[in-house]
Amino acid sequence: MTPPAHTSSARTSSVHTSSSAAPETPAPTSSASVYLRHGAGRGTLTGVGLVLAGTVSVQFGAAFAALLFPRAGALGTVTLRVAFAALLLLAVTRPPLRGYARADWAVAGGFGLALGGMNILFYQAIDRIPLGAAVTLEVLGPLLLSVATSRRAASLLWAGLALAGVYLLGRGGFDQLNAAGVAFALSAGAMWAAYIVLNARAGARFPRLDGLAIAMAVAALVSLPLGIGASGGTLLEPGVLALGLVIAVLSSGVPYTLELLALRRLPAATFAVLTSLAPAVAALAGYLVLDQGLSLTQCAAIALVVAASVGALRTGRRRAAGTAETH
């Protein structure tokens, strides 16, 4: 997490996209989009490369964040990441603060709480369990949301496949996973699902990335007291600040930019399917950066969850297309 950032994203019908016309968080993780817009044009190798690069940036950003935990703690690290991301987004978008109704601000506030909660819970998870396992559990949130909104019999197959993956993950080492870490990852997934719904609503009320920038500022205000309380003056050390900025750029700045560019070249459905590779990329990042090895059983579990995400996305896209044809 993105996720995703864990990642930004607008939705209109089935799995991950951004608060402007395009997707994040994330961004996930990251991040990525559950309600699909009908993108125009054919996907290109350039677009595919941009999406994959954004996913790699998010997950490796999370891995590097874990390296900062011994110095700043999980709460301190997430505070730096979200605060720097908010400053970057506000500087780029400069959203106007006038002209919005109270209901608009309520949506933006809820979006920010979901975004902040998702990141705080996810960082608590990766402080306790391997990154690949955390992202695999977290992605169940948007996956189950897409299954619930699809209302197709095939969606039950994808839900069953995802649960089989989680079962395999458990057989491959749930007994070795910290119970609190598992709970945090699942809770982050629930917040990701809420983030998806609120992101779509914010995207309908705010132009471009304005809603995301405001939400990120709210998330920063939520996380600051927690981070300062947990880490204190450590957050002001030059080395810690520098690493926090790098993590924010990797987890937010680079993915947001690459995903916006990708959506100019790819249909949103193709984009969403590609972002479903997040658990696999997270496992690779955990292995390369954090030396978190995975058994063959755990790798198979992650593959099942990725396959379930891709299947749910494709099912949702067919349902959206069928709905369009009947109107």
Under the banding of pLDDT at 50, 70 and 90, the label for residue 248 is very high
- Give the model's pLDDT for residue 321: 53
35 in a structural domain: no
In degrees, rounded to 5, the angle at the alpha carbon of residue 136 between the alpha carbons of residues 129 and 128 is 10
Using the predicted structure, report yes or no on whether residue 158 has a pLDDT greater than 70: yes
Q: What is the pLDDT of residues 200-231, one digit of tens each?
A: 888 889 987 898 899 999 999 999 999 999 99
What's the burial of 48, exposed, middle or buried (CB within 10 Å: 0-12/13-18/19+)? middle
Using the predicted structure, report yes or no on whether residue 279 has a pLDDT greater than 80: yes
187 in a structural domain: yes
- Give the model's pLDDT for residue 148: 73
Mean pLDDT over 242-258 rounds to 90
Using the predicted structure, report yes or no on whether residue 20 has a pLDDT greater than 90: no
Give the single-character DSSP code of 129.
S
User: From CA 3, how far away is CA 159, in angstroms rounded?
Assistant: 21
Name the domain count of the chain. Answer: 1
Cα→Cα distances 45→52, 177, 270, Å: 11, 38, 12
3-class secondary-structure state, position 62: helix
Query: How far, in whole angstroms, is CA 6 from its chain's centroid?
Result: 3
- Residue of 292, 283, 277 lying closest to 52 (CA atoms): 277
Q: What is the pLDDT of residues 80-122, one digit of tens each?
A: 999 999 999 999 889 998 889 999 999 999 999 999 999 999 9
For residue 44, report the phi and psi dihedrals to the nearest 5 degrees: -120, 165
Under the banding of pLDDT at 50, 70 and 90, the label for residue 3 is very low
- Give the model's pLDDT for residue 270: 67
Q: What is the pLDDT of residues 22-54, one digit of tens each?
A: 333 344 333 333 333 434 444 467 888 888 898
269 in a structural domain: yes
User: From CA 52, how far away is CA 259, in angstroms rounded?
Assistant: 9
User: From CA 11, how far away is CA 90, in angstroms rounded?
Assistant: 22
Assigned token pair, 109:
């506030």
36 in a structural domain: no
Under the banding of pLDDT at 50, 70 and 90, the label for residue 249 is very high
Which position has the token pair 């790699």?
56
User: From CA 112, how far away is CA 130, in angstroms rounded?
Assistant: 26
User: From CA 208, how far away is CA 224, in angstroms rounded?
Assistant: 26
- Give the model's pLDDT for residue 315: 65
Helix or strand holding residue 15 (H, E): strand 15-16
| Selected residue with higher pLDDT from 153 and 8 | 153
Name the least confident of 22-36, 43-57, 125-139, 157-171.
Answer: 22-36
55 in a structural domain: yes
User: From CA 87, how far away is CA 152, in angstroms rounded?
Assistant: 42
2 in a structural domain: no
299 in a structural domain: yes
Give the single-character DSSP code of 26.
B
37 in a structural domain: no
User: From CA 173, how far away is CA 99, in angstroms rounded?
Assistant: 53
- Give the model's pLDDT for residue 231: 93
In degrees, rounded to 5, the angle at the alpha carbon of residue 151 between the alpha carbons of residues 166 and 203 is 90
Q: What is the CA radius of gyration of the chain?
A: 18
Instruction: Give the domain range for residue 267.
Output: 15-30+42-325
